[in-house]
Amino acid sequence: MKKILIFAITLLVAQAAWAISRPNVILIICDDLNDYVEGFDGHPQAKTPNMARLAHSGVTFTQAHCNIPICGPSRASLFTGIYPHNSGCFGFTKWDGYEVLKNSRTIMDYFRENDYQTLGTGKLMHHMVRKEWKNFGNLSDYGPFAFDGENKLPHPDVPAPFCDIGAVDGSFGPLIKLTGKKSPDGKPLVWRTGSWAKQRNLRVGPQDDRDLTADELNGQWAVDQLNARAGKPGRQPFFMGVGFIRPHTPLIVPKKYFDMFPLDSIKLPIIRPGDVEDTFARLIRGIPKGADGPRSEDMGTRLFNTLVASYKSQDDALRHFIQAYLASVASVDEQIGRILDAVDNSSLKDNTIIVLTSDHGWGMGEKDFLYKNSLWQESTRVPLIIRAPGVGKAQSVSPQPVSLIDIYPTLVDLCGLSKETRKNEKGHSLDGHSLKPLLENPERGDWSGPDSALTALYIWRMKYDPAKENYTLRAKDWRYIRYANGKEELYFTKDDPHEWTNLADDSVHAETLDAFRQELKSRIPPAGSGLPPQPPFKPKSPASNKPDSKQAAEVWKDKYFTKHPAADVNKDGKLSWQEYKTYRAKFDPPKK
């Protein structure tokens, strides 16, 4: 009996020592952050000294890509480690409604199963499920918005027609005191912020005398949590997620960040006139003529054309928008610096893994496109920096194409975890590959993953067929795109980094094109293999005595949502009839 007791105590001590020795993890994810980050050659005027500081102590992946370039499904894929083509989650239906995903563990749930504390704040997964976290700080907050006492409005300095797009995507400018500013119908304005469920006024006075923004609150929350855990031997290891909202629209941050980028000094991206003409994205995005009239533009084209129409020239328009974007990135960088300070100036430094990334990129006028959700470089590429003390080779760069799907298995590997990530047989194992070999040897690591990063495209549908969606493969020197209608694009990125010349019809490259076709075929489900179980379509339409008319009305409304995403005020990925009526009356009144 005594020997059994001694053995049990010894085992408990060993388990406790193992738990203490495991590294902590901080996953920082920014929203809509493209390569406008120092070290990624995205914009020469980007000011991100703290992201650069993290890169100096870790490994930078210069060809990291998202797996679907729009918020909801991208985050669902990242946090579950499962490709959209294996889950069916290509759209904005709540991720935990998909059978595959709800029966697989999110990364935070998995770490909790492995005896980690899990804590998070801000925008992490697009649809918040609080049970996934042990400790959660602040809900997603897209503010601030100008507010007239009844409606959220764009920044008062944004000209028409761009401001008509709405308070989210049609808004950018400095966070300034609104004294004297009024709405178009003469109502005084205040700043409004908060989660979609709970709003509050944001006090903004002179000389930066103001309330904290959402990103500042999340930065402070993270620092407080880190300080509470530093210097405490024997504590449980933690997994922390920090989701910053900027540079997601509205691009509204304190004026001091705008002052860092004088408008007349802004350098513009290199845009080739007519570059969009040899591409095929528009062919699969247009909505046919119907109740909403003809539509030939997708969101990215609409934003670009409307922005240009709002200023005296294309250059002038892009300078204003890029200034706001760079300012927003700089504001987030400051918060990342606060987190780094809390780690580096404490006992956490040598035992805390830090990952910095984004959910997808953002096009800045290239191919007449100002948005995310394209299969070109500007949308798919994301910054990815990993600091792994004792493993990663500091000040290093890896050019290997990788993707967000690889983050989950990398952290599992680095932390030495081994439990099953599926909850049961209805779940799916991790699709990605550990980046640990590339952290140890960034240029020539023994990478077990694929040669190309795979990205799908979000297109509104009631059901998704993985064999018939739109995909791109980004290899070291090439990008291949295959659209659902069979059209293809092929770019030799080594000599054509801007993806200006589509080589798909050039017979010289027929062998390369066929190799990519075969690779894509091997990586996605074949036609006729069956669909992953998806959430049922449940119409919630106006009163009607005919079920068919209800469904038709719901389908029509969702098509309208595709054209007018800003109408989704609460950002839950669906357009309610009340949201539709409010938006239509204010911004898009029916023609008489």
Least confident of 151-155, 184-188, 266-270, 580-584: 580-584
Q: One-letter amino acid identity for 444?
A: R
The count of C-alpha atoms lying within 13 angstroms of the C-alpha of 65, restricted to the half-sphere facing its C-beta, is: 30
Contact in structure between 430 and 421 (CB atoms under 8 Å) = yes
pLDDT of amino acid 569: 72
Q: Is 191 helix (H, G, I), strand (E, B) or coil?
A: strand
- Residue whose C-alpha is closest to residue 62's, from 308, 383, 473, 499: 383
| pLDDT confidence band for 15 (50 / 70 / 90) | very low
| pLDDT confidence band for 549 (50 / 70 / 90) | very low
Instruction: Tell me the C-alpha distance between 376 and 172, whole Å.
Output: 24
Find where tokens 């005919």 sit: 546
Task: Give pTM, 2 decimals.
Answer: 0.88
pLDDT of amino acid 544: 36
pLDDT of amino acid 83: 98
Question: CA angle, corner 136, sides to 242 and 231, nearest 5?
Answer: 70
Between 334 and 568, residue with greater pLDDT: 334
Instruction: Tell me the C-alpha distance between 148 and 524, whole Å.
Output: 49
Between 463 and 313, residue with greater pLDDT: 313
* DSSP conformation class of 391: T
Contact in structure between 65 and 74 (CB atoms under 8 Å) = no
Between 590 and 315, residue with greater pLDDT: 315
pLDDT of amino acid 206: 84
- Residue whose C-alpha is closest to residue 408's, from 29, 21, 15, 20: 29
Span 206-240, pLDDT tens digits? 877 999 999 999 999 999 999 999 988 889 999 99
166: left (phi over 0), alpha (psi -120 to 50) or beta: left
From the number of C-beta atoms within 10 Å of its C-beta (0-12, 13-18, 19+), residue 548 rates as exposed
Sheet holding 453-456, edge to edge: 453-456, 471-474, 478-482, 488-492
47-75 average pLDDT score: 98
Span 250-271, pLDDT tens digits? 999 999 999 999 999 999 999 9
Q: Which two tokens stand for residue 237?
A: 């290891």
pLDDT of amino acid 297: 57
Q: Is 571 helix (H, G, I), strand (E, B) or coil?
A: coil
Per-domain residue ranges for the chain? 144-212, 548-592
Q: Is the per-residue pLDDT at 580 higher than 80?
A: no
From the number of C-beta atoms within 10 Å of its C-beta (0-12, 13-18, 19+), residue 471 rates as buried
Length of the chain: 592
Q: Is the per-residue pLDDT at 154 higher than 50?
A: yes
Q: One-letter amino acid identity for 308?
A: V
What is the per-residue DSSP string for 311-323? SSSHHHHHHHHHH
**How far is the CA of 345 from the CAs of 154, 386, 571, in angstroms?**
40, 19, 38
Span 16-48, pLDDT tens digits? 444 457 999 999 999 999 999 999 999 999 999
- Residue whose C-alpha is closest to residue 409's, from 20, 104, 49: 104
Instruction: Tell me the C-alpha distance between 12 and 10, whole Å.
Output: 5
Q: One-letter amino acid identity for 178?
A: L
Span 500-548, pLDDT tens digits? 999 999 999 999 999 999 999 999 999 888 889 889 866 544 433 333 4
| Mean pLDDT for all residues in the chain | 90
What is the per-residue DSSP string for 432-482? S---HHHHHSTTT----S-SSEEEE-----SS--GGGS-EEEE-SSEEEEE
pLDDT of amino acid 537: 64
The count of C-alpha atoms lying within 13 angstroms of the C-alpha of 345, restricted to the half-sphere facing its C-beta, is: 8
- Bridge-based pairing state of the strands 24-30 and 352-358: parallel
